[in-house]
Amino acid sequence: MLSSTKSMGDIDFVVPPRIRPNGARNAIPEGSCHGLLTMLNTARQQQFQNLIAKSGWDRLLLYGHSWRKDFFRSLVNFSFFGPHAAAILEKSGDVRILTTHPWDRDALDSAAFDDVRLDSDFDRGLSALLRGADDQRIGVAGLELLETRFARTLGRATHHPAASATKAVETLRQAKTPDEIEQVRKAARLADMGYRFFVDTAEVGMAEHELVAEIEGFLKARGAEDNFMLIGSGGAEVFGMHPPTERRFQAGDNITTELSPQVNGYFAQICRTLVLGEPSPKQRESFEIFRKAQQAAEDFLKPGVNISDLARVQNDVFRAAGFGEYTTSKYTRVRGHNLGLHPDENPYVLEDVDCVVNESMVVIAHPNTYLPMSGYMVFGDTLLVNATGCESLSATEKNLFTKGI
C-alpha cells in the first residue's frame, strides 16, 4: 500500500512582485503578464555591485545559455528561449540585456528594463554591447560556459582577457535570499506532491518512460517550469539512475527517482525508493542504512560545519555497516549538492570538497549509492540551513515506499 503523505492541496504560485530596476521607465500595462514573467533580483543586484567594487571591475556580465541559465537568472529571473542571453550590470546598478530571440526581447522589453537588445548573432550583439568598453575590466559569471568565440570577442572589445566571476557569484548564490527561499519552499512542496503522484501512478507493467511522462505532465500542470529527473528500476543488478528507458516495472523492483521541480527558477529535490510489492528483508536492511545516513546528515548540518564533514557523516554510516567501499566514486557520484537556480550547484557534498556551510544555504543530502544486497537505492531531502541547524523542506515521509501489487 502507498504510504501516505499529508494533504497539501494546491500550491499557491504567486510570483514575487516584479521589482523595477534602477532607472526603469515604463509603467506595466494593465493586464500584462510580463510582470509575472520577469523580475530583477535587487538583493543580488546590490551584492553584485559590491562584488564589482571589491574586485576592481568596471562591469559584471552574467551569461546564460539554454542549459545553464542560472547566472543570468541570478540577476534577471527570466526563463529565456535562447539559446543565449547576457545581462551586464554597471557599477551604477543599471542593467543592460542582450537576447537572441525576438520573443525574449519582447518579454523583457515590456517588463520595464531600460536597455534590452536583440541580435540573433550573439557574438555580434556582444560586440555591439561592449562598444566603448576599451580598457575596461569585466568580470564574467559563467565565463567557463561561454563559447570560446564569445570570450575572444570580450577580450578584443576590452583589450583585457575576461576575468571569471563564476566562483565569486556562485559563492554569493549559495546563501539564498528570503524571496529565493520562498521559491525553493514552493518547489519542495511541489516535489512532495510529485512524489505522491509518482507512487500512486507506478505499477507493474508500466514502462519507465511512461511513468516519467505522467510525472512531467503532473508537475507542469501545477506550475513547474522544468523538472530534473532521473530514474532506475530493477534489483541488485542496477548500479545507478539514468534517463527513462523502455524497461517495464516488475514485481519486487526498486524504483528509484530523483525528482527536482523548478518553480520560478528555483529547484528543490527529493530522492526516494519505491518497492513494487512487499520489500524483501534485504531491501529493508539496505534502506535502513540509507535512512540512517541521511538522518546523520540532517542532524549534522548547521552553519560553520564543513561540507566535507557532511559527506563524512553519511559515509561513516555505510562504513560502520561494513559497506565503506560503496561510498567511493565507483558506486556513487556525490552525497548531495547545493540547490538553487541550477539543480546541481556547487558545492558538491564530497569528503574532498572544502567549503564552510553558511545560514540560508539550501542543500540536498542524498547518500544514494549501490549496495550489493539491494542494488542502487536513493534517499534524500532538501535541507535549508538555519541559524542553529537545518530544516527539511521535504514533507514526504522518510520511508522505504511500498506499493501493493
Return residues touching other proteins (CB under 8 A): 13, 15, 31-34, 36-37, 65-67, 79, 81-83, 100-103, 106-107, 110, 120, 143-152, 209-210, 212-214, 216-223, 225-230, 239-240, 242-246, 329-331, 333, 344, 370
Could you tell me if 346 and 233 are in contact, meaning their C-beta atoms sit under 8 angstroms apart?
no
Which residue's CB is nearer to other proteins, number 15 or number 305? Answer: 15
- Rounded to a whole number of angstroms, the minimum distance from the CB of residue 230 to other proteins is 8
- Rounded to a whole number of angstroms, the minimum distance from the CB of residue 51 to other proteins is 20
- Rounded to a whole number of angstroms, the minimum distance from the CB of residue 229 to other proteins is 4
Which residue's CB is nearer to other proteins, number 369 or number 402? Answer: 369
Strands 336-338 and 362-365: antiparallel
Which residue's CB is nearer to other proteins, number 6 or number 330? Answer: 330
Which residue's CB is nearer to other proteins, number 76 or number 146? Answer: 146
Which amino acid, residue 337? H
Which residue's CB is nearer to other proteins, number 227 or number 283? Answer: 227
- Rounded to a whole number of angstroms, the minimum distance from the CB of residue 239 to other proteins is 4
Which residue's CB is nearer to other proteins, number 45 or number 79? Answer: 79
Distance CA 111, CA 117 (A): 13
Could you tell me if 242 and 231 are in contact, meaning their C-beta atoms sit under 8 angstroms apart?
yes
Maximum CA pair distance of the chain? 70
- Rounded to a whole number of angstroms, the minimum distance from the CB of residue 368 to other proteins is 11
Which amino acid, residue 348? Y
Which amino acid, residue 94? D
Does residue 83 have a cis bond before it (omega within 30 degrees)?
yes
Which amino acid, residue 118? L
Could you tell me if 225 and 262 are in contact, meaning their C-beta atoms sit under 8 angstroms apart?
yes
Which residue's CB is nearer to other proteins, number 28 or number 321? Answer: 28
- Rounded to a whole number of angstroms, the minimum distance from the CB of residue 104 to other proteins is 8
Could you tell me if 357 and 310 are in contact, meaning their C-beta atoms sit under 8 angstroms apart?
yes
- Rounded to a whole number of angstroms, the minimum distance from the CB of residue 10 to other proteins is 11
Which residue's CB is nearer to other proteins, number 26 or number 66? Answer: 66
- Rounded to a whole number of angstroms, the minimum distance from the CB of residue 25 to other proteins is 19
- Rounded to a whole number of angstroms, the minimum distance from the CB of residue 199 to other proteins is 18
- Rounded to a whole number of angstroms, the minimum distance from the CB of residue 144 to other proteins is 4
Query: How many Cβ atoms sit within 10 Å of the Cβ of residue 44?
Result: 23
CB-based burial label for 90 (10 Å; 0-12, 13-18, 19+):
middle
Which residue's CB is nearer to other proteins, number 7 or number 148? Answer: 148
Distance CA 377, CA 363 (A): 19
Could you tell me if 205 and 384 are in contact, meaning their C-beta atoms sit under 8 angstroms apart?
no
- Rounded to a whole number of angstroms, the minimum distance from the CB of residue 14 to other proteins is 9
Distance CA 394, CA 156 (A): 48
Which residue's CB is nearer to other proteins, number 344 or number 397? Answer: 344
Give, for 197, the enclosing helix (H) or strand (E): helix 178-201
Closest CA to 52 of 177, 166, 158, 165: 165
Residue 30, classed as helix, strand or coil, is coil
Could you tell me if 399 and 271 are in contact, meaning their C-beta atoms sit under 8 angstroms apart?
no
Q: Specify which residues 260 forms β-bridges with.
A: 228
Looking up cell 520573443 gives: 103
Which residue's CB is nearer to other proteins, number 6 or number 149? Answer: 149
Q: In what order do the strands lie in the sheet with 59-65?
A: 115-118, 95-99, 84-90, 59-65, 138-141, 163-164
